[in-house]
Amino acid sequence: MQKSNYGTSIFDRLKQTCSNEWKDYCHHEFVERVGDGSLPLESFRLYLEQDYVFLIHFSRAWALAAYKSSSLRDMQWASEILHSTLNVEMDLHVRFSKQFGVTQSELETAPEYQENLAYTRYVLDKGQSGDLLDLYVALMPCVVGYAEIGVRLELDYSSTLAQNPYREWVEMYAGEEYQALAIRSINNLERISVERGGNSRFEQLAETYRQATILEIGFWQMCLESD
C-alpha cells in the first residue's frame, strides 16, 4: 500500500506501538488460509454472515462520525463512506455471498456472535464517549488493515491466485479503489489528529488502536474456529 502524504503519520506510530498485535491480525491463520485457498468453505461462509452484521454497525459508526464532525469537510467524508457502505458495499456483499451458498435471508437473520458484538460496540462506544479522533482511531484497524492484507496476499500468493476460490475477495482489497480509500483515510486521520491534539493524547489513542486490533484478531479467530 502506498504511503500517506504525511510521511511518518500518526497511523504509522499507532501501528508501531502494537506491532505484535498488528502482525497477528494481518498474518492471522484465517488470512493466510484465504490467501492460499485452503480455508474451509464453512469458515468463509461464517465470515460472510458475520461481516454483513459488522457492516451494519460499521455504517452506524460512520453516521456517528458525521454527527461528531465539526466541519462540512468531515461530514462529507463520513457521509461518503456511509453511503458507499449502505448502498454499494452491502449489495455487493449480498451478491458475493450467493457465490458461496449464503442467501440474503441468511445474511439478514444471522445471529451476532460475541466476538462481533464486542468489536462493533467497542468502536461505537469510543465514538459516543470520545470525539471524532477517538472514533477514527477505533475504525482504522479495519479500514486500513484490510488494504494491507489484500496487497500482501495478492503478492505472496500470486502464483496460485487464479485457482483460489477466494481470489475475488483478495483482489477487491488489493484493488486501486480500496487502496485509494485507505490512503484517504490515513490522510484524514492525520489531519484530524493535528486539529484535535492527537500528539498530546497519543497514549490514550494508542490503547484504543491496540484494543481494536485485538478485537480484529478475535473476529478472524471466531471464523476460523467454525472449521
Give me 112's grid cell: 451476532
Q: What is the DSSP letter of 70?
A: S
Place of cell 504511503: 3
As a whole number of Å, the end-to-end CA separation of the chain is 31
Give me 95's grid cell: 451478491
Q: Which residues are catalytic?
A: 142, 216
Alpha-carbon dihedral angle through residues 38, 41, 45, 47, given to the nearest 10 degrees: -20
How far apart are the C-alpha atoms of 96 and 112, rounded to whole Å? 20
In the chain, count H helices and then E strands: 12, 0
Is residue 148 a contact partner of residue 26, using CB atoms and an 8 Å limit?
yes
Tell me how many degrees the CA angle 106-94-221 measures, rounded to the nearest 5: 70
